[in-house]
Amino acid sequence: MEKAAFIGVGNMGRALAKAACKSLGGEEVAVSNRTYARAESLAQELGCHAYRTNCEAVQAAEYVFLCVKPKQIRGLVKELSADLKGKTVVSVAAGVTLAELQSWVGEEIPVLRIMPNTPCEIGKGLTALSGGRAANEKHFTDVEHILACSGLVERMEEEMIEPYNAVAGCGPAFVYPYIEALADGGVLAGLRREEAIRYAAQMVMGAAAMVLESGKHPGELKDAVCSPGGLTIEGVAELERHGLRAAAIDAVVAAWKKGKRLDK
């Protein structure tokens, strides 16, 4: 029996299956997809096992990761219901609560909910993890182990998943246009496009690492770069004039409010 089965290998299912193969070894991972050829291709790439039906994949594994769109998950659970006994179910579906999942699969089946972000694909991601009433410490630690190579896995109460998702799940899409805009400025100043993108992306990665590794407040780190009357404070003042902070706050709050509406 494999340790984990990933049902649905779209972008996120593929990324998580890839991480699981690194953490566990491909022989411990099963994949299935509505289009079998896609699962087969992924299995050949990762060295894991592809199954022609979702039910076969579930039967072969201990942990079942449901990596389909929120509108599809209830139908998928119904399809798999006869095969979920004795399994642990892990959902990736945004807006689908643990209580809903538990009511669909039955009270005795351990259910967990994860919310990964796209950098999981390269092992630099962040995944929120929450569990239902039947989930115990072993279920949490097993899921953390399965996803260890995707990046950081952070346990949290379910009510914190939507605020988390507005920052960490949606956040990459807020950062990419910023990197592109910095690169545009670099091109305007005379850099070649590929150089400007590389410099901007490396800078953002390094700045983020400084926040995480130094333990210092971002404001303190910003102040350390800004010499009196210098270039950097001039640029910071321009960002303030154009409302960078307010725009970032509004983006996160808008995403959070949308998530709350989905939950209802």
Q: What is the pLDDT of residues 33-50, one digit of tens each?
A: 999 999 999 999 999 999
How many whole angstroms separate alpha carbon 155 and alpha carbon 128?
A: 6
Looking at residue 260, what is its pLDDT?
79
Q: Write out the E strands in the chain.
A: 2-7, 29-32, 49-50, 61-66, 88-91, 111-116, 125-131, 151-155
Helix, coil or strand: residue 32: strand
Task: Return the amino acid letter for 245.
Answer: R
Q: Is the pLDDT of residue 264 over 70?
A: no
Using a 10 angstrom Cβ sphere, with 0-12 exposed, 13-18 middle and 19 or more buried, the burial of residue 218 is: exposed
Q: For the chain, what percent of residues have pLDDT higher than 70?
A: 99
Residue pLDDT, tens place only, 84-136 = 999 999 999 988 999 999 999 999 999 999 999 999 999 999 999 999 999 99
Q: Is the pLDDT of residue 243 over 70?
A: yes
Q: Which residues contact 205 (CB under 8 A, 6 or more apart)?
A: none
Residue pLDDT, tens place only, 140-173 = 999 999 999 999 999 999 999 999 999 999 999 9
Instruction: Please give the structure tokens belonging to residue 94.
Output: 């945004």
Please give the model's pTM, rounded to 2 decimal places.
0.91
Mean pLDDT of the chain: 95
Tell me the residue length of the chain: 264
